[in-house]
Structure 1
Amino acid sequence: MYNLLISFAVGLVVLAALYFGAGIDLGYAAMATAVVYVASFFILSRVFIKKLTGIMQNAEKDIQAGRTEKAIKTLEEGLKYRNWQLYVASQLHSQIGMIYYLKRDFRTAFDYLQKGFTRNWAGMGMLGICYMKRNKPKEMKKTFEKALNLTKKEPLLWNLYAFCLEKIGEKDKAIAVMEKGIKKTGEDERLKANLAALQEGKRMKMKGYGDLWFQFHLEKPGELIKQQTRAIQGHRKIVRR
């Protein structure tokens, strides 16, 4: 990364100036060099974090306004900073991949999400679903496990993993994941409710998460409305009898 190299170069210049130029003791010169190196790295990091934040904010505004193509272009332009700061490229790849996923362009989304930031749990969840849809359960599990190792306190991620496991026929594994998730998240009530549903052979209820859930395209709001309508109609028939 360029900011590391620049900071190191500045440190070497300071060391040479103090030790060879000013004749200062090597130990004191080294301490001063370390301070300069850390300060240089901190300042450069702040500069590029500010640039990255601005790029993300502009892209978010475009997304909210429905200008997804412009948002993608904005994020792609940010990739020019990939060699300046650690994790810049992976964070931008995650954001671009998520936009394509939301647009249901799963093939393109997959290409970006594979290169995404592992601490972006939503992006990792989408990547896991892509593997599931490609009939690659091992890769799906590895992706979710990696995400959960870094984001243990997010109940929706535990629910999402269990939902996918149940969907590929691994109900027992889904139950084990939910039990672990309950311990990690501090007895989350939605996890408890869905664990009980799995144990009773019922569908997991995810609609309570709203748009956070629907962004994964595993269920549609319309499908849930139809289910509720059928349930009401069935209830009416029973009442008539």
Structure 2
Amino acid sequence: MWPRRLALGAAVLPLTLLIPRDAPARFALPISAPAHEQSRAVPRGVPQPAIVSRAAWRADEHMVREPAVYTGPVRAVFIHHTGESNDYDCGDVPRMLRAVEESHIKGNGWDDIGYNFLVDRCGTIYEGRAGGIGRSVRGAHTTGFNADSVGIAVLGNYDRGATVPPALVRALAKVAAWKLRPGADPRGTVRLVSTNDASRFPKGTAAVLHVIAGHRDAYQTDCPGEALYDELPAIRAATAALRKGR
């Protein structure tokens, strides 16, 4: 969840001139990892969903402080929300992502954007932290549990009373189904060892968490909001359906 409300910046050319308002974003740039990254990607049985690359949303690569660190195959997925307003136009998301990147690096002091992926209310999926979308990149999304996991943030505020669009649920399920290691049960649990006392579990403690969990399950926070948290069973079921027979 973002530490503060972010200004979108009026100096950037509004993308609504290029993209229909309130419609899923469409970009012409490649969405798959380069060939040298694909060769080291973790084998999966579920096809990769369409993902808008960092190049397409114009991430500031000069701002990134350190190269990506890699971890083991994804054993857990943590769902987040950013806490911002839900009334944005989906065509404005790229500059929102640049604001997230700046906040995480300059505000939080992290090496790069913390989330591995982000999803907007129209169901468009975006590459978050750099390092190769097909690889197990260690993020900075869930204190104590960034190893062997992936963090997906939904742009917006999904506290109690918010409406969770079906397209958003489908997008989260597509990423989870694709990224989870072979044999993982999206409706099951996983045993993870905390690496940080600031989490809900002291460092070194083994925690049993849902394979698809909310941020609040591992950290003292309301994230991903009550409305989105209530959708986790549906997200797990949709993910399991996508992985059926795989």
The TM-score with structure 2 as length reference comes to: 0.29
Greater per-residue helix proportion = 1
Structure scoring higher RCO (CA < 8 A, sep ≥ 6) equals 2
Structure with bigger gyration radius: 1
